Each structure stands twice: as C-alpha cells, then as structure tokens.
Structure 1
Amino acid sequence: MNEYIDQISGYFETVPLWPFVLFGLLGIVAIMVDIVNRKRRALAVDNFRYTFEKELADMYPEHKRWPKNINNYLTSRLPEMYQNFEVLRVFIPQDHLREYNIDWNNFRDFCREITDEKIAAAEQGATENNQSAQQESDPKEVFQKLISKLLKHTEL
C-alpha cells in the first residue's frame, strides 16, 4: 500500500499544478453560475406569482368580485403577465414546457373570450334548477382552475 501512496505522491511532485488550479477555478465558476441561475429562477417565479396576486387580486386566490367590463380588464393586464410568462419560460424544464405553453394559451384565450354577458348568463343559470350543468362552465371556477394550472409550474 505504501508503494501506491509513494507513486501517487511522486506523481504530484512532478506534475505541474496549473491544471489542478484551472479545474478548481472552473468548478468555482460553475457553482457561481448555478447560484446566480437559482436566484434568477426564484425572482422569475416571484414576479410571475406576484403579477397574478397583484393584477387579479379581486378574482384570485379568493374570488371577491368580477370587475365591470371583464374582457377589457383582463386583456389590459395580459401584456405584463405575458412578459413574466416569457421570463419564467426560460427556467421551465423541457419536459414541462409543452404543458406550460398550453396552460398559458388556455388562460389567454379565456381572458380574450370572457364577457360580462357570459358571466351574467352563468350566474342566472346557476340560480335556476340546472346548477350542476352550469357549474361545469362557471367562469369563476374555470378562471380559478386556469390560474392554478399556471401557478403549479412555479412549484417545480
């Protein structure tokens, strides 16, 4: 066993140290890049969540009220949400990216298609005796599910 240790120590005495220093520096840089990327992802997740919590405070996480002219209300907030969506997309794992894009497209389409008339019709239909059929297409429930699906991608 001493023979092996002597061979290894002899090797380190004759080999220059610069390759070991170089690999050590590369390792330190790799760790620093990983730390920076983790902080950037955490910031992207926080901005994405904050956008929903701030912009849609009356409707999510607890539904308090629908604003008047819901279509304009939601579509005016889509650009900021889309910007945060794009920033977060960089940090979504490749195997989850398709679901993330689909969830965003569903949310965006909902925001563009929802109208005050649809909400009034759903509320009026809920008061009638076909509550179970209307509850499936209740805009409040659909809205909550769409946002929950989007926010589940921030938990990865």
Structure 2
Amino acid sequence: MNEIIDQISGYFETVPLWPFILFGLLGVVSVFVEILNRKRRADAIDNFRYTIETELADMYPQHKRWPKNINTYLCSRLPGMQQNFEVLRVFLPQDRLLSYNTDWNNYCDFCRNITDEKIAAAEQSSAADSSEGTKQSTHKESDPKEVFHRLVTDLLKHTHI
C-alpha cells in the first residue's frame, strides 16, 4: 500500500499543476454560468407571466369584462407579449418548442380574428340557448371567452417547467 501512495505522490511531484488549476477554474466558471442561466430563465418566466397577468387582467384568470374594440385591444398588446415570448423561447427545451410556438400562433390568430360582432353573436346565441333550456354545442361556435381562456392557459402551461 505504501508503494502505491509513494508512486502517486511521486507523480504529483513531477507533473505540473497548471492543468489541475485550469480544470478547477473551468469547473467554477461552469457553475457560475449555470447559476446565471437559471436566474435568467426564472426572470424570463416571471416576465412572461407578469405580462399576461397585467395586460389581460380584465379577462384572465377571472373574466370581468370584454373591452370595446377587442381586436384593437388585444393586438395592441401583442408586441410586448411577443418580446417576452421570444425571451422565454430561448430557455425552453427543444422538444417543447413546437408546442410553445403552436400555442403562441393560435393565440395571435385569435387576437387578430376576434371581433366585437363575434362576441355579441356568441352572447346572443348563449342567451337564446339558455332561454330554450337546451344547448346545441355541435351547431354553434365555441364561446370566445372560453376559447380565449383556453389559449392563455395553454401559453401559461409552458411557464411550469
């Protein structure tokens, strides 16, 4: 056993220490980079959630009211949300990017295509259905409020990584 210890100590006496110091520094730098990336990822998630919660406060998570000119209202908020979307996308795993991009595109399409007339028509049809006592979900379009809520929930599911 003493021969092995003497052989190992002899090796460290003749080998330069700079490779060990270099690998130690690389290890410390990689730990700091990992900590920094985790912080940036947490900030990106927080910013994305905060943007949705503040920009869409009247409509999500509890629906309070639809603003007038809903198309203009939602489309005017897309650029700020787009910036946070792009930042968060960097931190998502590759296998979830397709789902994330699809959810974002569905949300953007909804924002661009929703009109006050569609909301009024959905409210009238739901009032007519409730007065008749029957719902014919196969013949009528989905309620825009439910669709909106589902789209935002789909976006927010990507912040629970």
- The answer, yes or no, to whether TM exceeds 0.5 is yes
CA distance in 2, matches of 1:15, 1:135: 80
The answer to whether the 8 A contact 1:41-1:88 is kept is yes
Matches within 5 A, 1:134-149: 137-149=142-154
> Which structure carries more relative contact order (alpha carbon 8 Å, separation 6+)?
2
SS of the residue aligned with 1:131? Answer: coil
The answer to whether the 8 A contact 1:70-1:115 is kept is yes
Q: Percent identity?
A: 72
Tell me which residue corresponds to 2:6.
6
CA distance in 1, matches of 2:110, 2:117: 14
Amino acid corresponding to residue 116 of structure 1 in structure 2: D
Give 5+ residue unaligned stretches, structure 1. none
The answer to whether the 8 A contact 1:48-1:88 is kept is yes
Matches within 5 A, 1:115-154: 115-129=115-129, 130-133=134-137, 137-154=142-159
Amino acid corresponding to residue 22 of structure 2 in structure 1: L
Question: Considering only aligned residues, what root-mean-square deviation do their CA atoms show, in Å?
Answer: 1.4
- TM-score normalised per structure 1: 0.95
CA distance in 1, matches of 2:55, 2:128: 32
How far is 1:60 from its partner? Answer: 0.6
What count of residue pairs does the alignment treat as equivalent? 156
- TM-score normalised per structure 2: 0.92
Between stretches 99-108 and 131-140, larger displacement belongs to 131-140
Give 5+ residue unaligned stretches, structure 2. none
